[in-house]
Amino acid sequence: MDNKNQHPSSLHEKDGISPPEIISSKAVEQIQLLRKKQRTTQELINGVLAGNISDLSRAVTLIESTNANHLAKANEVLNACLPHANKSVRIGITGVPGVGKSTFIEAFGKHLTGLGKKVAVLAVDPSSTISHGSILGDKTRMEELIKDPNAYIRPSSSGETLGGVARKTRETIMLCEAAGFDTILIETVGVGQSETAVHSMVDFFLLLKISGAGDELQGIKRGIMEMVDAIVINKCDGDNIKKSKLAKTEFERALHLFPAKKSGWIPTTSTCSSITLEGIPEIWQTIEQFIEITKGNTYFFEKRAAQNQYWLLETINEQLKTNFYNNPEIQKVLESTKKAVQNDEISPFAAAQFVLENYFKNLK
């Protein structure tokens, strides 16, 4: 391009590029569309209670949000759902990675929807906090269940502490129940505190195992044995059948060593195959018996009441902690105090006292 010929005067200003519109009409359109899609709290409540899955998912997302505005809306939805919740069976499923939890849930879940039940599958998976993956990420294992209109599968929320994930799962249970799901399956991986958290939100706790080389009881934590209502040896198929039956007997013997449970229920042992489906229907029969017995002796209701008390305190504990550690003033004080402790300038106890006093002073 020959500019000299076009603009001979040195005073001439270049045409330049016109600035972008201050308000992009495209963005406005998008925002308007989004607003239209966004439900009011009441619409969301109505949707959940009517069993609308998209609204259920929206409500769960709201619960998982860390935005303060969302918290108020989430609490409103939860409160409205509360009278409609509670009418379900909550089953916890645990076992080490690879034991076949996802495959089992697919098989068991399909069996339940076949019986006319509405099944929600949730997860408590603190490891997803680190990996940002998800315990239910391997959705290929639940191909059939995902397609089932009577099943709802929601992976664990990530980027959270175990306390946070557990509380959100607990709230999601309520939403699912209000949306008409009558059987809730909660998967957790057999590590750390996540089992205790799941145990505190379910009626029935199932431990999945596979047969090993005769050392079945090794590596199994005493605490878990005390929590379980049923031990199921999975992968009892093909060459594994004999070994699985032996493992079952061994667990049966081990369970006898534990004192009787308050529930009046004697934990059961059984075998199943999530591939051939052998033993799957019997597991549901066992759970039905459990419910009959524990509702009969009122343990079922007492346990739920105790769980509510537990979650009241847990939620307070968790939110106090979050509030404390997210406080910018505290973060500053904590940082300098940590250094002082590291340099032996102050004892950790005196330092803790100092930081806490700072926090309490801020509250006043």
* Cβ atoms < 10 Å from Cβ of 79: 11
Does 274 interact with ligand GTP (rule: CB under 6 A)? Answer: yes
- Residue 223 CB, nearest approach to ligand GTP (Å): 19
Token couple for 361: 């002073």
Site string for Mg ion, 320-339 (x = CB under 5 A): --------------------
| DSSP symbol at 261 | P
How many angstroms separate the CA atoms of 92 and 101, rounded? Answer: 11
Which residue has the closest beta carbon to ligand GTP?
A: 100
With CB cut-offs between 5 and 8 Å by kind, which of ligand GTP, Mg ion, none does residue 273 bind?
ligand GTP
Q: Which is nearer to Mg ion, 144 or 226 (CB)?
A: 144
Query: How many residues interact with Mg ion (rule CB under 5 A)?
Result: 2
How many angstroms separate the CA atoms of 228 and 199, rounded? Answer: 9
Site for ligand GTP (CB under 6 A): which residue of 92, 95, 126, 279? 95
- Residue 101 CB, nearest approach to ligand GTP (Å): 4
| DSSP symbol at 306 | H
| Near Mg ion in 210-249, by CB under 5 A | none
Interior/surface letters 195-209, b for 16+ CB within 10 angstroms, e for the rest: bebbbbbbbbbbbbb
Query: How many residues interact with ligand GTP (rule CB under 6 A)?
Result: 18
Whether the Cβ atoms of residue 145 and residue 120 lie closer than 8 Å to each other: no
| Near ligand GTP in 153-212, by CB under 6 A | 189
Site for ligand GTP (CB under 6 A): which residue of 39, 101, 209, 248? 101
Does 102 interact with Mg ion (rule: CB under 5 A)? Answer: yes
- Residue 30 CB, nearest approach to ligand GTP (Å): 37
- Residue 159 CB, nearest approach to ligand GTP (Å): 19
Does 278 interact with ligand GTP (rule: CB under 6 A)? Answer: no
Site for ligand GTP (CB under 6 A): which residue of 183, 273, 286, 294? 273
| Near ligand GTP in 119-148, by CB under 6 A | 135, 138, 141
> CB under 8 Å to 153, separation ≥6 — which residues?
120, 121, 136, 139, 142, 145, 146
**Pairing of β 204-209 and β 230-233:** parallel
With CB cut-offs between 5 and 8 Å by kind, which of ligand GTP, Mg ion, none does residue 170 bind?
none
- Residue 136 CB, nearest approach to Mg ion (Å): 7
Q: Which is nearer to ligand GTP, 45 or 136 (CB)?
A: 136
Q: Which is nearer to Mg ion, 102 or 286 (CB)?
A: 102
Q: Where are the alpha helices (DSSP H) in the chain?
A: 3-6, 25-37, 41-49, 53-64, 68-81, 101-114, 127-131, 143-147, 162-178, 194-199, 222-227, 241-256, 280-296, 299-326, 328-342, 348-363
